[in-house]
Chains A and B, each alone.
Chain A
Amino acid sequence: MAEFKKADSMLEWFDQRLGVVNFAKVMMTEYWIPKNINFLWAMGVLLTVLFTFLVVSGIFLLMYYKPDVNMAFDSVNYTIMQEVAYGWLFRHIHAVGASVVFLVIYIHMFTGIYYGSYKKGREMIWVSGMLLFMLFSAEGFSGYMLPWGQMSYWAAYVITEIFGGIPVIGDELVVWIRGNFYVSDSTLTRFFMLHVLLIPLAILGAIVFHFYALRFPHVNNEEGEFFDFDEEAEKYLAGNKKESKVVPFWPVFLSKDFFVLGFFMLFFFYLVFFHYDFAMDPVNFDKADGLKTPAHIYPEWYFLWSYEVLRGFFFEIAGVSGKDLGLMAFGFANAIFLVLPWLDRSPMVKPANQRPYFKYWFWFLMADLIVLTVYGKLPPTGANAWVGFASSMTFLVLFIALPFITKAEAKKVGGK
C-alpha cells in the first residue's frame, strides 16, 4: 500500500483515496469536445436528464403502484393520481417524459445520420446508441402495459401476437412471453419486472457503454472535420482558447447544454402540466377489458412508423401472405438502422447537405418516416392502406438502395 501523508484539505483527503482530481480532469475539465457544434449536440445531455427524470419519478410511482390485474388500474388512477400528494405530478412527468424521450432520441439519431457521425471509427457509438434505442423501446412498451387500461391491454395483445408469426416456434413463443394463452396477470407481473428492473439495468449499462464508445473516436462536429484532439487540447491548455478547435466538457460544453436544457424544460413542463393527452391516451383511462376491443388500436406515437411497416403489407405477394411479409418488413425495419455504418459506403463525413446524393436520401427518409408515422395511426382502410403499402415499400427500397447510392457518391467525389 502506498504511503499516505496527512491531508491538508478535504479535497486532498479524497484525492489520496479516490484520485478525484484526476478523475474530474478525465471526465470533465479535460474531456475535449469540438467547438464547432450547434444545439443539436446538446441532445445527449437532454437524454441523460430525461432518463434521470424517468428514474426518479418511476421510483416514486413504484411506491404505490400494484402490479395485479385487479388493482393496477385503480392504484394508478385513484391512489397515485388522486390520493397521494403530488402523485399525479410524478405520473405526468413519467408518462410525458417517456414520450418526449423518444422525440429527443429521434432528433439525436437523425442528427447522427445527417452529420455522418456513425462512420470512420464512430461505428461503436452508433451501434451502442441503437442498442439503447431498442432497450428504450422495450422499456416503453413494457411500461405502457402497467396502468392496465384498454390500450395497455390491446397494444400488449397485438404486439405480443406479432411474435406468433415467427416460423416453427411462433405459437409457443407467444405463450412463453405472455406466461399464459392470453394477456393476463402473469403477463402484467413479468412486464412489471422487465420495466422496473431488468431493462433499466440494461439501459444503465448501455448508457455507460455509449459514453465510453465516445472516448476514442471523439465527438463529431458540424463540418465532419478530423483533427488531432491532443494538439488542440494543448493549445487550449496553453491559453489559446480562441484558436483551439476544442472546448472542455466542463464548464464550456455543459454551459451550452444547460442553456438548451433550460428552454427544452420549459417545453417539457408545458406538456407535463397542460398538454399531456398525446402521451396519456384517453382510451387508456378505461380499464382493460379482454372482451371489449377498442374501435382503434394503435401503439404510442414513437412506434407508429414501424407499426405501419408491419401492416403496410396487407395482401399476398408471390404466395407469401401479407401478414408474413409485414412481419419480415417489420423485422427488417427494426434491425436495419443498426447496420447503417456499413450500408453507407461513401467515406465522406460531412453534413448531408454537402453530400451530393446522400442529401436526397436523407430527406426522402425523413419524409417517408413522417408519412409512415401519420398513417400508422389512421385506420388502415381504403386509400390509407395503399399509402401505407407505398410508404413501407419506400422505406425498404431506401435502405436497399443506400449502399448503391453512397457507392456512386464515393465515386463522384473521388474518395474525399
Chain B
Amino acid sequence: MKEFKILAVIVALVGITYYGIEPYAHHIMHPEVAPADFSFKTLKNVDTTLAGNVENGKVLVEANCIACHAIDKAGYPAVMPNADAAASYGVVPPDLSSAGRIYDKNYLANFIFDPVTAMHLEGKYTPESGKQFPMPAYNWMSPQEIMDIVAYLQSVTPKVTEGKEANKTTFEAACGRCHNMKYAGIEATTPKDNLKAYMGATPPDLSQYIKSRGEHYLHSFINDPQVLLHGTSMPRVGLTEKAQEEVIAYMEEIGDSKKAERESLGLWVMLYTLVFAILAYLWKRKIWSEVH
C-alpha cells in the first residue's frame, strides 16, 4: 500500500511537470488559430452557383490561358522550357492539368477573377512595392465566363487512382514548382535563383516538414499560410480538403516512411515487455516469500 502511495506521488509530480512543459507550453507558444476554411467563403467575387459551359470554357482557355500555361493532359504542351518560363515570369506557371481536381471550385473562380486577393498576398503586391503578380486579374470577365473556364478545367483533369499515385501527383502539382522534397528526389521545377528572387527567400525543402511542423500545423498552414505565418510570401494555394490531405499524406509517406512499422512493432515489443514484467513479478513473489 505504501509503495502505491509513493508511486502516486511520483506520478503526480511527473505528471504536473509534463503538463507544464508539453501541452501547456505548447498551448502558450502556439495559440490556437481559426479553423481551416476549405470553402474559402471570404471570396465572393464570382457567383459559383452558375453552371459552366465546357465548350465555351475551352474557347476562353485557348484565347486567354495557354499562352502561358501548359495543360498537358488536354494536349497543350508547355510553351517553353521551365528555365525560360521562370526567367520570363519569375516562377514557372503551373500546368493546369490538375487544376480542376486539386483546387476548390470557389477558390479557382475567384483566383481567375483576382489572383492576389485569392492567394492572400495583398501584403506583398502593394502598389508601393512595385511588384506585380505575373498573372493578370480577369475581373473584366463575366462570372458566367469564369465559371465556363472552371467547368472546362474540371472536365479535362485526368482521373488518378487514390492512394500513393494521387498523393504524389497532387504534391507535385500543388507544391512542386517552389519546394524541393530531397528525400523523394523531387526538385522544384523553378530554378533556385529565380525562386529566391521571386519569393524573397528560398522556399524550404519539405522532406521533414511532417515532423518539424506536424499534421496539425500543416492542416491550418497550407489552407491559409498568413494565419500562422503573417507576412509570408507563400500564397494560399486553394486546395480542396481532399487534395490537402493527399499532400500531407505524401509528406508523411516521405518524411516518416517507417510509421506503420513503428506502430506495429511497438505493440509487439510492449506485449513482450508485459510478459516479462508479469513473470518478473511472479518470480519476485516467490523469492521474497522466503525472506518476509
Contacts and interface: CB of A to CB of B under 8 A. Distances in A.
Interface in B1-55: 2-3, 6-7, 10, 13-14, 16-18, 20-22, 24-25, 28-29
Nearest to A274: B266
B14 A304 contact: no
Contacts of A242: 290-292
Interface string B123-143: 000000000000000000000
B288 A88 contact: no
Contacts of A277: 22
B269 interface: yes
Interface in A359-388: 366, 370, 373-374, 376-379
Nearest to B208: A285
Interface residues of A, number: 53
A140 B5 CA distance: 31
B162 interface: no
Given A273-B270, A283-B212, A374 B17 contact: yes
A265 B25 contact: no
A379 B277 contact: no
Contact of A255 (B3, B24, B262, B283): B283
A77 B209 CA distance: 12
B284 interface: yes
Interface residues of B, number: 52
A270 interface: yes
B159 interface: no
B20 A286 contact: no
Interface of B (DSSP majority class): helix
Contact of B10 (A74, A107, A255, A256): A107
B208 A35 contact: no
A93 to B, nearest CB: 10
Contacts of B21: 278, 301, 304, 373-374, 376-377
A262 B276 contact: yes
A258 interface: yes
B288 A379 contact: no
A77 B255 CA distance: 9
Contacts of A296: 29
Given A269-B270, A285-B211, A379 B28 contact: yes
A82 B283 contact: no
Contacts of A366: 13
Given A265-B277, A273-B262, A256 B288 contact: yes
19 contacts: A39-B7, A77-B207, A77-B211, A92-B262, A242-B291, A259-B283, A262-B281, A263-B277, A269-B266, A269-B270, A270-B266, A273-B262, A273-B265, A277-B22, A285-B208, A366-B13, A370-B16, A374-B24, A378-B25
Given A82-B257, A377-B25, 15 more contacts: A39-B3, A82-B183, A89-B262, A255-B288, A256-B284, A259-B284, A273-B267, A282-B213, A284-B212, A296-B29, A370-B13, A373-B21, A374-B21, A378-B25, A378-B28
Interface of B: 2-3, 6-7, 10, 13-14, 16-18, 20-22, 24-25, 28-29, 182-183, 204, 207-209, 211-214, 257-258, 261-263, 265-267, 269-270, 273-274, 276-281, 283-284, 287-288, 290-292
The list of the 7 closest CB pairs from A to B, nearest first, reads A262-B277, A273-B266, A374-B20, A285-B212, A285-B211, A255-B287, A259-B284
